[in-house]
Amino acid sequence: MAEEVKLIGMWGSPFSRRVEIALKLKGVQYEYIDVDLTNKSPLLLKSNPVHKKVPVLLHNGKPIAESLVILEYIDETWKANPILPQHPYDRAMARFWAKYIDEKCLPALWNACWCEKKDREKAVEEGNVCLKTLENELKDKKFFGGESIGFVDIAANFIGFWVGVLEDVVGVELLTIDKFPILCKWRDEYVGCSVIKENLPSKEKLGAYFRTRVESASQSK
């Protein structure tokens, strides 16, 4: 019986793109269904009634939501090109850092971009603390996963690409080479990987998307 793998996602969502990276890394054939988040499809609402968010992976009709949960599921189901390390301690470290990225880094960086101007300096500092922590964790490794990209690198896709686009659109400096040389080097290696490069949204399209958001935010004030 052929495997049926579908991914309900959104082209501009880093969480959605994480899942695509994992599927492509493992050579899993899948059908991609893009969703308009302002008009969520019945399929999305049925597949993820709890959060009503993308991404949702449908494997033989069974839905899985939450990108990091999906990544682990993919890794356990398709064994080629493992995303997580073998050893329990290294796996724990990978999970710890992916959690840190989602629970601390992303909210801090996102907030630094979208907060009120008066709060920006403090917000950027908080973002910097996160980036510094990641910089220290990376040390002299090529990727968080070692010699090749792994779970944490996939989780850090927002930092590897989305942050750069936001910096341009919003006019904020976050991932600067003087403060974070190691992380910047990682970013360049990261977006240079074919599996990453081929699974990024277009910079122009993403930039335009964020620009619309900036404009509507300033109009509503």
Partner 1 sequence: MAEEVKLFGMWASPFSRRIEVALKMKGIQYEYIEEDLSNKSPSLLNYNPVHKKVPVLLHKGKPVAESLVILEYIDETWKQNPILPADPYEKAMARFWAKFLDEKLWPAAKKVVLSKGEEHKGLIEEIQEHLKTLESELKEKKFFGGESLGFVDIAANIIFWLLVVQETLGLDILTEDKFPGLHEWNHRLLDDAVFKECVSMERLLASFKVRFGALTASK
Extract the tokens encoding 185. 């080097």
Tell me if 89 contacts partner 1 by CB under 8 A.
yes
- Identify the residue among 2, 88, 178, 192 touching partner 1 (CB under 8 A): 88
- Identify the residue among 20, 72, 135, 153 touching partner 1 (CB under 8 A): 72
Cβ nearer to partner 1, comparing 76 with 173: 76
CA distance 28 to 19: 11
Tell me if 22 contacts partner 1 by CB under 8 A.
no
User: Phi, psi (5° rounding) for residue 201?
Assistant: -70, 160
**CA 7, 9, 10: angle at the middle one, nearest 5?**
155
- Min dist. Cβ of residue 68 to partner 1 (A): 8
Q: Which stretch binds partner 1 (CB under 8 A): 3-11, 63-71, 106-114, 115-123?
A: 63-71
User: Phi, psi (5° rounding) for residue 185?
Assistant: -65, -45
Q: Hey, what amino acid is at 111?
A: N
- Min dist. Cβ of residue 75 to partner 1 (A): 9
- Min dist. Cβ of residue 98 to partner 1 (A): 9
Cβ nearer to partner 1, comparing 65 with 154: 65
Q: Give the residue from 105, 103, 104, 123 showing the smallest Cα distance to 113.
A: 123
The CA distances from residue 149 to 6, 119, 124, 146, 152, in Å, are: 24, 35, 27, 7, 8
Tell me if 59 contacts partner 1 by CB under 8 A.
yes
Return residues touching partner 1 (CB under 8 A). 50, 59, 62, 64-66, 69-70, 72-73, 76-77, 88-89, 91-93, 95-96, 99-100, 133
